[in-house]
Each structure stands twice: as structure tokens, then as C-alpha cells.
């Protein structure tokens, strides 16, 4: 087993990985940028190394600096978390070349699935159903011809990336030129590669992904699905498992397809095979594979009873994954809400500033993965995810009720959040009935923020007063009078 692991990430996922390491008796190394010098993840680790300036390319995306930090601290392995360099094949290769263990899949697997065009071609060869489309075309005329053959609406998207970047829906031929230009520009900026592919757009699709997990000895299983259809700007905000849509037969079919997809690229460690599903046709198609740990992995951990991060570490160290497929079943229901510092009433634009108050909910079967606390600063440099709130219930109805109660207890002041927005989603009949599609938020959900309640205004005022009290306390602690109670070492304070 490894003695020391460097976590090449920040925020809640860095802390999540550190907790798994501590339970395994492994020391941890954090890396941080100048903007994160006071961050919780840097404080939580056994050691912390400054990488550089706040800009990601100077810090969390700088491969040479991360490798140097691992060498400097005598780390055995590097865990990339998610985002940043987690799906960068060159990073995985550099880690291997430095004689360090990369806690994730092989560079070859990352490379095979990282290119959306190449991965679709591979999946077709493996017999995994894929969305109708074309992967190797370049000119505007070729895209127009392909769209006519597929049938509008179509989706053009970056071949080299994901996360909703470099993606445009095209409803008619006269929109094609502008959509291609915009998608290419965004893809080039985000991924350094402006190649695009085209595929049929499914307006009523659900986004369902399957967690897969394998070791280096050929063992590979799926750990069931996650329903991820509640999205804004093509990015998930609420995830749950089991999906309210899947029959046992369909779940088995999709699970087999996910394992086939992973085996086709020789996969090991944690990964996720993503599908789009049309319930009206009971048809599913391969979308992409994320060759890393997912943001929403905690819901799977709740229903299958497995610590995915610990097992990531163990199989990276060479252990066999001892559980065959038949050992796994789904127990109960779990939901995750991503609490963002963003303004849903203003196009979900990020909200920055100091957290004046940050009170996380507590209770049975409630879990909060966060990287912030009261006094933390939310900057414009990184993703504005504050925390992941995860709940478990004996069934879906109980899980929804628990999530609603937990969200009511989640108090954040100092920045705007999406907490009220998610409460409204959870209360909507479409969500309660499992009818939310990937475009539901933007096309059917007419939400307007409510005026803050009297209790909220009082809580905000108390948060402001607390900060003023702390300033006064700090000033008092510097009182020069030797007889001040702030200086007396005995008496009323004992």
C-alpha cells in the first residue's frame, strides 16, 4: 500500500480523497494556488505545497509543478480527483514516467475515451449502441449533408472534450454556419482542439450513466446507474440512483453495455459510461465515457455500500477487486444536490465573495462533501461548487423529503446560491414523477426567486453582527491594559 499520496486537485474532492487516505493510514499532500493559500484542503492535508499563481495553467494544470511537488514530498502516488488533469493522458503518462502511481485508468484508456469521435467509433466496433451521427467530417457542407441525413434537430459538439463546452443545438440549416463557428471557437479555447462531430439531437432524452469499476487483474463490474437529467447549461445539478425510469430488464441491458464499453478499452479503476435514454422508445445510446471519479459518486456509495475512493487507491496499488457482479444490488435511494455559488435568476452566473455564514445540515443519512467554511472566499478563478449535499432514504419519496429538509437547514450568506432553485425542482410534479429531461430546466421550468423571508434576513444580519463581534474580539485581545480580563490568566474565566 502507498505511504503518501499527493492529491492534484482542490476543494471538496481533495478533502474527500484525503479522508479516504487517512482511513487507510496514508499520509496526504495537498497542492494549492496563491488564491487557495487559506483553503480548507490545504489545511486538511498532512503537507501542502504552493504551486503558483491563481490561474489554473500556473497551478492545478501545470504538470511539471505537480510532479515536482510529488518528488519533493516523497509521495508514492498521485490522485487527480475530477476536472483539471484527471482525464489528461499526457499527465497520466508523466506520472508513470516519474515512477509514481497514477490513481486512475491507464493513459491508453484515457486517450481512447477522451476523444469523443474516436470513442464513438470504438463503441460501434464493440457493438455498443451509439447516437446516429458522423465523427469524421470537417467542412460546413459536409455537416449540412450529415444533418439532412440524420434529420434536424442535430447536435454539433467538440470531439476532444465534454462538460457542455463546444456544444450547440442546430434546429435548421440556416443555423449551421453560426453554430459551427461558435462551437469551434469554444472547443479551441477549452481543449486546444476545434474538431467537431455531429449527431442526432434527442430533445426528450434522459441522461443516465453507469458506474464501472475494475482492477488490473481483469475483474470489471458495473455498480448500477445514476439519473442525471436535471441540468443547466448541459451540466448536472441533481443526480439520483436508482433511476425512476429503468425496468430491471433495461437496467441489466444498459449495465452489460457499460461493461462491454469499458472492456473494449482495457479499463481499470473507477469510470462512468454515459448514455442518453429515450423512454418513449425504450432506446438508449452511448454518449461518452468519463475516465475518472465522478462528482456524483457518493449516491452510488450510499446504495451499494462501497467506498469508491478507497477502492481506487487499493486497486491502483495492485490489489484485486474481490466482488463479482452478483454481489451487488441497489438498496434504498440516494439523491445528490450540487450547491453552487451562482444566481439561477441571472443565467446561473457565478457569485463570488466571502462566505459570511456557512452552516451545513446534519442528521441521519445526510452527507455533505464541501471545501468551504464561514470566512472562505469564493473567487472567479475556479468552479463555483460550494458543496455536495447527499441524502439516503429507504425509497425515492423518503429521499426527496429528506433532501428538502436538509436543504432548508443549509445556510449560506455572502454569496448567492442555487439552494432555493433546487428546492423548487424537487417540489415540481415533473421531478416527483421522474419526467425531467436534459432540457427541462431551460424549456419547461418557469422559476422565479421568492423574496427572502424574515428569518433569512435575520440570519444574514446575525452573520454580519458575528463578523463585527469577531473584529471587536480581536481588537480587545490586543488591549494593552494588564488588568484587562483579556490579559488575566485566572479568575472569572476559569
Residue 377 sits in a domain of what CATH number? Answer: 3.30.470.20
Q: Phi-psi bin for 353: left (phi > 0), alpha (psi -120 to 50), beta?
A: left
As a whole number, mean pLDDT of residues 67-94 equals: 97
As a whole number, mean pLDDT of residues 84-102 equals: 97
Whether residue 471 is contained in a domain is answered as: no
Domain residues for the domain of 180 are 132-200
CATH number at residue 53: 3.40.50.20
| Residue 278 DSSP SS3 | strand
- Asked if 138 and 31 sit in the same domain, the reply is no
Dmax over CA atoms of the chain, in Å, equals 87
Active site residues: 292
How many angstroms separate the CA atoms of 254 and 225, rounded? Answer: 9
Whether residue 143 is contained in a domain is answered as: yes
- Asked if 26 and 97 sit in the same domain, the reply is yes
Element containing residue 217 per DSSP (H, E): none
Counted domains in the chain: 3
pLDDT at 462 over 50: yes
- Asked if 158 and 245 sit in the same domain, the reply is no
Cell of 396: 425515492
Whether residue 51 is contained in a domain is answered as: yes
CATH number at residue 182: 3.30.1490.20
Whether residue 48 is contained in a domain is answered as: yes
- Asked if 298 and 234 sit in the same domain, the reply is yes
- Asked if 438 and 332 sit in the same domain, the reply is yes
pLDDT at 189 over 80: yes
How far are the Cα atoms of 85, 283, 308 from residue 243, in angstroms, in the given order? 30, 15, 20
Whether residue 473 is contained in a domain is answered as: no
Whether residue 410 is contained in a domain is answered as: yes
- Asked if 187 and 262 sit in the same domain, the reply is no
Whether residue 189 is contained in a domain is answered as: yes
Whether residue 462 is contained in a domain is answered as: no
User: Could you tell me the pLDDT band of residue 493, with boundaries at 50, 70 and 90?
Assistant: very low
pLDDT at 481 over 80: no
Instruction: Look at the alpha carbons of 461, 466, 471, 473 in this order and tell me if their dihedral is positive or negative.
Output: positive
- Asked if 315 and 276 sit in the same domain, the reply is yes
pLDDT tens digits, residue range 256-272? 999 999 999 999 999 99
- Asked if 326 and 414 sit in the same domain, the reply is yes
- Asked if 180 and 213 sit in the same domain, the reply is no
Domain endpoint, select from 406, 422, 443: 443
pLDDT at 457 over 90: no
- Asked if 76 and 165 sit in the same domain, the reply is no
How much of the chain exceeds pLDDT 90, in percent?
83
Domain endpoint, select from 88, 103, 118: 103
Cell of 365: 443519512
- Asked if 264 and 222 sit in the same domain, the reply is yes
Q: Which of 290-299, 423-432, 462-471 has the lowest mean pLDDT?
A: 462-471
- Asked if 11 and 59 sit in the same domain, the reply is yes
pLDDT recorded at residue 455: 58
pLDDT tens digits, residue range 110-130? 999 988 888 999 999 999 999
pLDDT tens digits, residue range 394-407? 999 999 999 999 99
Amino acid at each position: 500500500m502507498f505511504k503518501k499520496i499527493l492529491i492534484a486537485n482542490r476543494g471538496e474532492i481533495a478533502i474527500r480523497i484525503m479522508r479516504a487516505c487517512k482511513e487507510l493510514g496514508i499520509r496526504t499532500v495537498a497542492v494549492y494556488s496563491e488564491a487557495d493559500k487559506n483553503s480548507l484542503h490545504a489545511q486538511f492535508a498532512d503537507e501542502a505545497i504552493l504551486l503558483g499563481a491563481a490561474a489554473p495553467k500556473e497551478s492545478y494544470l501545470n504538470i511539471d509543478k505537480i510532479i515536482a511537488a510529488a518528488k519533493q514530498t516523497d509521495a508514492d502516488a498521485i490522485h487527480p480527483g475530477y476536472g483539471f488533469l484527471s482525464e489528461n493522458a499526457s499527465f497520466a503518462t508523466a506520472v508513470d514516467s516519474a515512477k509514481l502511481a497514477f490513481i486512475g485508468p491507464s493513459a491508453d484508456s484515457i486517450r481512447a475515451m477522451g476523444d469523443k469521435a474516436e470513442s464513438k467509433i470504438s463503441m460501434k466496433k464493440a457493438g455498443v449502441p451509439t447516437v446516429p451521427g458522423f465523427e469524421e467530417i470537417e467542412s460546413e457542407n459536409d455537416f449540412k449533408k450529415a444533418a439532412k441525413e440524420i434529420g434536424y434537430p442535430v447536435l454539433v459538439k467538440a470531439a476532444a472534450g465534454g462538460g457542455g463546452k463546444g456544444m450547440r443545438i442546430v434546429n435548421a440549416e440556416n443555423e449551421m454556419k453560426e453554430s459551427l463557428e461558435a462551437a469551434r471557437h469554444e472547443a479551441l479555447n477549452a481543449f486546444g482542439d476545434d474538431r467537431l462531430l455531429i449527431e442526432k439531437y434527442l430533445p426528450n432524452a434522459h441522461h443516465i450513466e453507469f458506474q464501472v469499476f475494475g482492477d488490473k487483474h481483469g475483474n470489471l463490474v458495473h455498480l448500477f446507474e445514476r439519473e442525471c437529467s436535471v441540468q443547466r447549461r448541459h451540466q448536472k445539478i441533481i443526480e439520483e440512483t436508482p433511476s425512476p425510469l429503468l425496468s430491471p430488464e433495461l437496467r441489466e441491458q444498459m449495465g452489460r453495455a457499460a461493461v462491454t464499453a469499458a472492456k473494449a478499452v482495457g479499463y481499470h479503476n473507477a469510470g462512468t459510461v454515459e448514455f442518453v435514454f429515450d423512454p418513449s422508445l425504450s432506446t438508449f445510446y452511448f454518449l461518452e465515457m468519463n475516465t475518472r471519479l465522478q462528482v456524483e459518486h457518493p449516491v452510488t456509495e450510499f446504495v451499494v455500500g462501497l467506498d469508491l475512493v478507497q477502492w481506487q487507491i487499493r486497486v491502483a496499488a495492485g490489489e484485486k477487486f474481490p466482488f463479482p457482479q452478483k454481489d451487488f444490488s441497489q438498496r434504498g435511494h440516494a439523491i445528490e444536490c450540487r450547491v453552487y455559488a451562482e444566481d439561477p435568476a441571472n443565467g446561473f452566473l457565478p457569485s463570488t465573495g466571502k462566505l459570511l455564514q456557512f452552516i451545513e445540515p446534519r442528521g441521519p443519512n445526510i452527507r455533505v462533501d464541501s471545501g468551504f467554511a464561514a470566512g472562505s472566499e469564493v473567487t472567479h478563478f475556479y468552479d463555483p461548487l460550494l458543496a455536495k449535499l447527499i441524502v439516503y432514504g429507504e425509497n425515492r419519496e423518503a429521499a426527496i423529503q429528506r433532501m428538502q429538509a436538509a436543504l432548508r437547514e443549509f445556510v449560506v450568506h455572502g454569496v448567492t446560491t442555487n439552494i432555493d432553485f433546487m428546492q423548487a425542482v424537487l417540489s415540481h410534479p415533473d421531478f416527483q414523477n421522474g419526467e425531467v429531461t436534459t432540457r427541462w430546466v431551460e424549456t419547461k421550468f418557469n422559476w422565479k426567486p421568492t423574496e427572502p423571508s424574515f428569518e433569512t434576513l435575520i440570519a444574514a444580519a446575525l452573520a454580519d453582527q458575528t463578523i463585527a463581534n469577531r473584529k471587536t474580539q480581536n481588537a480587545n485581545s490586543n488591549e494593552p491594559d494588564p488588568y484587562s480580563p483579556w490579559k488575566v490568566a485566572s479568575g472569572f474565566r476559569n
